[in-house]
Amino acid sequence: MSVKRIQFLDETAYAIENEEIKAIVLPSQGSNLISILDKSTNTEILRTPKNRTEYETRKMVFGTPVLFPPNRIEDAVFEYNGRKYELEMNRPKENVHIHGFVHDKEWSVLEIDHSIPRMKTQLRSAEHPDILNQFPHDFTITMTIEIAGNEVIHTTEITNNGESPMPCGIGYHTTFQFPSEAKLFLDVSEKWLLNERHLPTGELENIANRKEFSGGTSLSGVAIDDVFLMTENKTAAIERPEQGIKISYSLSDDFTQWVLFTASGNENLLAVEPYSWVTNAPNLKQLPRTLTGFDDIKPKDTKEYVSRFKVERD
């Protein structure tokens, strides 16, 4: 068991490993957990770039970019607690802000423990004027990556250091290797109707083919970019029969939504994105928080979000 400082994509990275699993974290790239390797089958679980050039083509579909807040904010503005928030307009073609403001920052390494093995990274908004300009709250995000047996435990804690409550929504653009023979197993019953800007209209629809999801679907050749309500079963599973493995991706209760994204459907990728609140939640004030997942953090309080990757072999 160890945590080693290595070079990955021409950046300083950290390899966390035991006898079963090796994970790689890139603190300089938003503390992206960018690789999970099953050692016994030599199988890469996540979509991991082969080199820096490939990574630069589209960073969001490699590893587990941290989305704070997740997905899109309509017109890049919202109001909360009597304050208007004006976020960066970084997707002008849809007139939205997308994916938040922590995934492209360098996080500091806070702690390394070889005996567990485990590492912690951290970002504080007060050190980033460009964050404060659009989200005027002093907050800290602390991420812990730990390996226990055949499981990677990914814990994110968000602390409000300020004197007023702050809105809080988090997600991960978790992108798996998903070859054509792979199958996704996911319990879903309703999905959000989206408009042409990929924003929820506020309406939900029942999923006619929900049994295909729960019984295993290949999604081969299917282009999908949809948002689903989580059920009580907050675990997605991927079977990869050629490698003889099954990956379970389990979330803590503060996560309320799934986003599934396959790009064209022909790129051997599947993003299974867990969100604590739905896309554009701050602007869906006509709907209850219990539905949208909209949340906030009281001054000096902390919220914790846990996700687990478990690899099982035939």
Q: Which residues are the active-site residues?
A: 173, 273
Q: For tokens 């948002």, what's the residue?
A: 227
3-state helix, strand, coil in the chain (%, to 5): 10, 50, 40
Nearest to 169 by CA among 78, 61, 233: 78
Nearest to 29 by CA among 4, 57, 68, 66: 66
- DSSP symbols for 186-211: --EEEEEEE-TTS-EEEEEEE-TTHH
Do residues 47 and 177 touch, judged by C-beta distance below 8 A? yes
Beta bridge partners of 270: 176
**For residues 26 and 33, what is the distance between their CA atoms, to the nearest angstrom?**
7
Alpha helix (H) residue ranges in 91-155? 129-134
Beta bridge partners of 303: 158
CB-facing half-sphere around the CA of 31: CA atoms within 13 A: 24
Burial of 185 (0-12, 13-18, 19+ CB in 10 A): middle
Say how many C-beta atoms besides its own lie within 10 A of residue 34's C-beta.
26
Do residues 255 and 230 touch, judged by C-beta distance below 8 A? yes
Residue type for position 271: A
Q: Which DSSP helix (H) or strand (E) runs through 53?
A: helix 52-57
